[in-house]
Amino acid sequence: MTLPLTTTDATALLGVYARVGPLFVAGEGSELIAEDGTRYLDFVAGIAVNALGYNSPVIREAMLRALDSGLIHVSNLYRTEPGERLAAELTKSFGGQVFFCNSGAEANEGAFKFARKWSKKTEIVAFNGSFHGRLFASLAATDRPDYRRPFEPLLAGVQILPLGDVEAATRAITAQRTAAVIIEPVQGEGGVRPVPDAFLVFLRQLCTETGTALIFDEVQCGLGRTGTLFASEASGVVPDMSTLAKPLGGGLPMGAILVSDRIAGALAPGDHATTFGGGPFVATVALEVVRTIADPDFLADVRAKGELLGARLRALSARSRRVKEARGRGLMWGLELNEVAAPLVAAARERHLLVLTAGPTMIRVVPPLTVTREDLERGATILEEVLA
């Protein structure tokens, strides 16, 4: 028999998270269910991870099938089928090759290494409002001084430039020194900010001219979140590498680096590795996640629901003096407030709606991509009440 949790059990977890709210014991569709049976409408989705919602039959069936094979892990010393099929699926649109890892930060760290090996240069350029992860190189490229400061020195040679500043980028990105430019086509943690297409086009041109690897961090905005399989598709720009993670493994830890043939050609056995990356269990699940999301009808539905959510949030923004702006794309939205967002996130939770912040003054809304129109209406109504 399992004994009830005690306060000592909770304090056995390292205190680097300020966990709040109830103890969740189950999930169904777009709802999380607490210990006392209360249902919470979940517009956090495990931080844009649970794209197919809770208890998804797609994920469930993939997991059961993966278990039936008896293979959870084999290592990258040998070939297995699911990883090869998944890599083929992910390279359908833009070609290239794939490296599988286990998280978003790890994907970006790997992309930096690949950029250095290919370019034979060292420096990295990132932008204001960026979030690329919490490891020593990805954190150096993350525009959160409070996250960085206690752990310095981080990776040297990383510059963070004003987002959209063509002159600053022209000065900083050079043929002599710059190995990589990393950017989220739609910024997530930094405040749900779609980057203007023209700036991505400009970076593509400058990176090509200077022999610099252009990396799109699609860890949060990729895989259908913004209504296209890759967020970059809206701009027409093809990067040299894209990184994926959050929704990829259907809730299991998985990251990926999509690498152009040009950069892949500079890499040889031994250049990079990870024990767990792309194992048969997680890859079986991820393949079904990617196939489901890549379906044109699924993506069209995300776009249509995104219009609906966007219209509700824009209307809310126009009516409320507490809201400065609603911005987003697809099912990735933010309400920029004229006040601190955390108390309103707590107030929404009191009304059984889960949303999260993106920086100090923004409420972020990233529901499962399978969310129903009714649930979107219900969530928007709760947000209106909270901001009334």
Ligand X SMILES: *Cc1c(COP(=O)(O)O)cnc(C)c1O
By CB under 6 A, tell whether 239 contacts ligand X.
no
By CB under 6 A, tell whether 184 contacts ligand X.
yes
Query: Binding ligand X by CB under 6 A: which of 50, 220, 284, 357?
Result: 220
Name the phi and psi angles at 99, rounded to 5.
Answer: -115, 130
Query: Binding ligand X by CB under 6 A: which of 51, 245, 313, 362?
Result: 245
Q: Which two tokens stand for residue 346?
A: 């707590």
Using the contact rule CB under 6 A, the part of the chain among 100-108, 154-162, 227-235, 297-305 near ligand X is 100-108
Q: How far is the CB of 176 from ligand X (least distance, A)?
A: 28
Q: How far is the CB of 187 from ligand X (least distance, A)?
A: 7
Give 252's Cβ-side CA count (13 Å radius): 24
By CB under 6 A, tell whether 105 contacts ligand X.
yes
Pairing state of beta strands 178-183 and 213-217? parallel
The residue number whose beta carbon is nearest to ligand X equals: 104
Nearer CB in complex with ligand X: 246/305: 246
Using the contact rule CB under 6 A, the part of the chain among 90-98, 119-127, 182-190, 302-310 near ligand X is 182-190
Nearer CB in complex with ligand X: 110/133: 133
Amino acid of residue 128: N
Mention every residue, 6+ apart, whose C-beta is less than 8 A from residue 247: 48, 49, 50, 51, 222, 223, 224, 225, 289, 293, 369
CA Rg value for the chain:
21
Mention every residue, 6+ apart, whose C-beta is less than 8 A from residue 215: 108, 111, 112, 115, 180, 181, 182, 183, 239, 240, 241, 242, 243
Query: Binding ligand X by CB under 6 A: which of 217, 240, 301, 336?
Result: 217
Length of the chain: 388
By CB under 6 A, tell whether 103 contacts ligand X.
yes
- Dist CA 41 CA 45 (whole Å): 10
Residues of this chain, 119-148, that bind ligand X according to CB under 6 A: 131-133
By CB under 6 A, tell whether 223 contacts ligand X.
no
Q: Where are the alpha helices (DSSP H) in 295-331?
A: 296-319
Q: How far is the CB of 258 from ligand X (least distance, A)?
A: 14
Q: How far is the CB of 225 from ligand X (least distance, A)?
A: 10
Query: Binding ligand X by CB under 6 A: which of 29, 96, 104, 334?
Result: 104
Q: How far is the CB of 138 from ligand X (least distance, A)?
A: 7
Mention every residue, 6+ apart, whose C-beta is less than 8 A from residue 301: none
Using the contact rule CB under 6 A, the part of the chain among 59-67, 80-88, 102-110, 199-207 near ligand X is 102-110
For residue 292, the Cα-to-chain-centroid distance in whole angstroms is 17
Query: Binding ligand X by CB under 6 A: which of 188, 280, 310, 368?
Result: 188
Pairing state of beta strands 39-42 and 353-354? parallel
By CB under 6 A, tell whether 50 contacts ligand X.
no
Binding site for ligand X (CB under 6 A): 103-105, 131-133, 184, 188-189, 217, 219-220, 245-246
